[in-house]
Amino acid sequence: MTADASALWAKYDTQMRGRAPEVFGVVTERDGPLVRTHYGTHGVVDHRDLSAVGDLAALVRRTREEFARRVEPVTWKVYSHDGPRLAEALLDAGFAPGTPRSLLVAEVADVPSTDAKLRDYWLGLPYRDQERLRRLVEAAPEQRRPVSELEHDMDILSLWRHSRPADLVWSERVEGTEFSAVDAITRPLPELLHAAADRARQARAPRTASRYLVAEASGDLVPVHLAAGFHAVAEVTPYRWAPPGEPARERPVRTLFSDPEHGALFRRFEQRFEVTYETADKGVTEPPGSVTWHMDAIDDWRDPLCHEVEAVIARGLRARTRPGDRLYQLKWYVNGTVVDPARVGGPGRHPWVSYSYLPDENVIQVTGDLRMGTYGDHRERSLCVFGAELVAEVEEELTGLLGTVLRRDGQPVGNVWTFGP
């Protein structure tokens, strides 16, 4: 039986508010009933019940100061159930209200299925179609959550017409709850909501199918949600404030999937190091100035020695990267990452996520200009460090940890056993 609006709000209020989002590349901080999420480019505040907070103005000021320190514009959602205190405190602190939206919740079982065939966003699409999809995303009305906050931790389904992507819905399963979220649709088309419900009904593991769907919408998007079985359970108003200064344009840590920069950098690396996925078992052409060590002593990435090696290389990369450098981690046919070394590590920052060696797959770690980096060869069980500045920074410590050098400039240094005449 369909729950009424008050029961649906109670489910949402209990399970969804004050959650730290599980998204790669962000930093979350708790401050009593508040959760501050820092994307590096902007921030979001969510909260549980604030009725027990005595000095709400102080909590708002403290939050604003934290986003000012990071130069992140911030959005704070206020629900109609919150009462007037929070909105007043935000207005007093210089926040400006945006357009109110309806908070819409449905039981998944009440939303019809669709026969329309929608495609997964990233799978096998050429670059021109990806660009069309990005334009659709940018033109979509503001709703619950933009694609830029989710990166690849979401389902993006595209509806095609005349061999081109015409409309999108993006959604996410909210781990640890009974909810999936319809973060946005590009137009008021019922089949987009029906497709999101179909995806929510799919269990990825036992008992993980979602029971509820949540969305936020305004204007002509609201009737299509109501017709699909959603109920308006509250009103939500985004309050925004921007600190002085120019915010960063990209996150300190990003996932690379089918991005053009990912493929272009991979091709340049393969050309310079004379290696492809098919030839990687034979090693790479190690450049002049490189030094390579045996990694036989490491059988597992959790080995304390592996952690020590990674710490040395991370310190070396921090010391030798320049302003504007980006550090890329690449693996054939696997998602990559890109890191801004100046903006990761340390209190309140995203941790250092790049690494140089795995015992079971080859790993490339390189600056965007290829001037320095590492290559971990799991077949040979070796680690090559290249770039004179990085080698100078790490060679002594790595030799102390790993022992005698295997090669310099790609040439054996006399510690290789041979047998026969």
When pLDDT is averaged across residues 393-417 and rounded to a whole number, the result is 87
Taking the C-alpha atoms of residue 215 and residue 230, their distance in angstroms, rounded to an integer, is 9
Quick one: pLDDT at residue 336?
Answer: 86
Ramachandran bin of 387, using left for φ above 0, alpha for ψ from -120 to 50, beta for the remaining angles: left
Lowest mean pLDDT among 78-82, 200-204, 371-375: 200-204
Q: Is the dihedral of CA 183, 188, 192, 194 positive or negative?
A: positive
When pLDDT is averaged across residues 94-98 and rounded to a whole number, the result is 97
Judged against a pLDDT cut of 80, whether residue 320 lies above it is answered with yes
Nearest partner of 77 among 119, 39, 111, 34, judged by Cα? 34
| Maximum average pLDDT range among 23-32, 249-258, 287-296 | 287-296
Judged against a pLDDT cut of 60, whether residue 417 lies above it is answered with no
When pLDDT is averaged across residues 292-300 and rounded to a whole number, the result is 90
Lowest mean pLDDT among 85-99, 127-141, 311-325: 127-141
Quick one: pLDDT at residue 203?
Answer: 65
Taking the C-alpha atoms of residue 372 and residue 290, their distance in angstroms, rounded to an integer, is 9
Selected residue with higher pLDDT from 70 and 415: 70
Selected residue with higher pLDDT from 163 and 103: 103
Judged against a pLDDT cut of 80, whether residue 13 lies above it is answered with yes
Nearest partner of 354 among 329, 376, 331, judged by Cα? 329
pLDDT band at 421 (very low <50, low <70, confident <90, very high): low
pLDDT band at 261 (very low <50, low <70, confident <90, very high): confident
Judged against a pLDDT cut of 70, whether residue 81 lies above it is answered with yes
Average pLDDT, the chain: 90
| Residue 140, amino acid | A
Quick one: pLDDT at residue 204?
Answer: 64
Taking the C-alpha atoms of residue 310 and residue 357, their distance in angstroms, rounded to an integer, is 8
Burial of 245 by CB count in 10 Å (0-12 exposed, 13-18 middle, 19+ buried)?
exposed
pLDDT band at 9 (very low <50, low <70, confident <90, very high): very high
When pLDDT is averaged across residues 113-133 and rounded to a whole number, the result is 76
Judged against a pLDDT cut of 70, whether residue 124 lies above it is answered with no
Q: Which 3 state secondary structure label does DSSP give 79?
A: strand
Judged against a pLDDT cut of 70, whether residue 389 lies above it is answered with yes
Taking the C-alpha atoms of residue 101 and residue 8, their distance in angstroms, rounded to an integer, is 17
Selected residue with higher pLDDT from 203 and 53: 53
When pLDDT is averaged across residues 395-401 and rounded to a whole number, the result is 95
pLDDT band at 1 (very low <50, low <70, confident <90, very high): very low
Judged against a pLDDT cut of 60, whether residue 373 lies above it is answered with yes
Length of the chain: 421
When pLDDT is averaged across residues 194-208 and rounded to a whole number, the result is 80
Nearest partner of 87 among 282, 237, 188, 221, judged by Cα? 237
Share of the chain above pLDDT 90, in %: 67
Query: 164 Cβ partners below 8 Å, 6+ apart?
Result: 129, 132
Nearest partner of 90 among 118, 110, 60, 69, judged by Cα? 60
Place of tokens 């999420």: 37
Judged against a pLDDT cut of 70, whether residue 420 lies above it is answered with no
pLDDT band at 73 (very low <50, low <70, confident <90, very high): very high
Nearest partner of 358 among 310, 301, 312, 307, judged by Cα? 301
Bridge partners, residue 106, by sequence: 213
Taking the C-alpha atoms of residue 402 and residue 306, their distance in angstroms, rounded to an integer, is 10
Judged against a pLDDT cut of 90, whether residue 12 lies above it is answered with yes
Quick one: pLDDT at residue 22?
Answer: 79
Quick one: pLDDT at residue 372?
Answer: 97
pTM for the full predicted model: 0.87
